[in-house]
Each structure stands twice: as C-alpha cells, then as structure tokens.
Amino acid sequence: MVTACEKEVISEGYSEMEGFYVESCGLPHVTIDSVKSFSIKMSNYITDYPDSKKHSLFPKIQANIRFASLRITIVCDTTWNGETHVNF
C-alpha cells in the first residue's frame, strides 16, 4: 500500500485541516504512540468543529492515520539452531 502526500491548496475554511494533513503525511515515520496522539488530537478537533469533517482533506487525513496505524514488525533471532516454521 502506497500513499502520496501531494501539496494541497484548498480554501474551504478550517485552515487547521491543512496543517493536520501535512502532519498526517509524516505519520508513517514516527512511533505508533505519536500516531495515537495525533489521532486523539484530530478526534478532539473534530468533536469541537464537527463541520470540519466535510473538508476535502478529512478523508485523506483519516486514510493517512489508518495507513500509519497498521504496522507489523517481525524480528528473527538468527542464533537459533535448526529450522523454525511459522504458520499464518
């Protein structure tokens, strides 16, 4: 899954949404705790300004949050002897 964060110039009100969008583009490069903090900050903003969900950047911000939230890390210890089988 690849997302692109191109520069968006939109004048729909709620100028904070542009800042949120720019910040959301960097979420894949921060810790999962930072993603959660951003998600909470965004949720609080939406609670205070419910009409901001109609902004054209809102779905893109949500998609960036979802993309950054889905992380799987697999670490293999190469000092084990023999074969290890992992079934999914």
pLDDT tens sequence across 36-86: 999 999 999 999 999 999 999 999 999 999 999 988 877 777 776 677 677
The mean pLDDT value of the chain amounts to 84
Contact 38, 27 (CB under 8 A): yes
Average pLDDT on 4-23 reads: 76
Reported confidence tier of residue 9, pLDDT bands at 50, 70, 90? very low
- Position 33 pLDDT exceeds 70: yes
Query: Over pLDDT 90: what percentage of the chain?
Result: 61
* Helices and strands counted in the chain (H then E): 3, 0
Model-wide pTM > 0.95: no
Contact 4, 25 (CB under 8 A): no
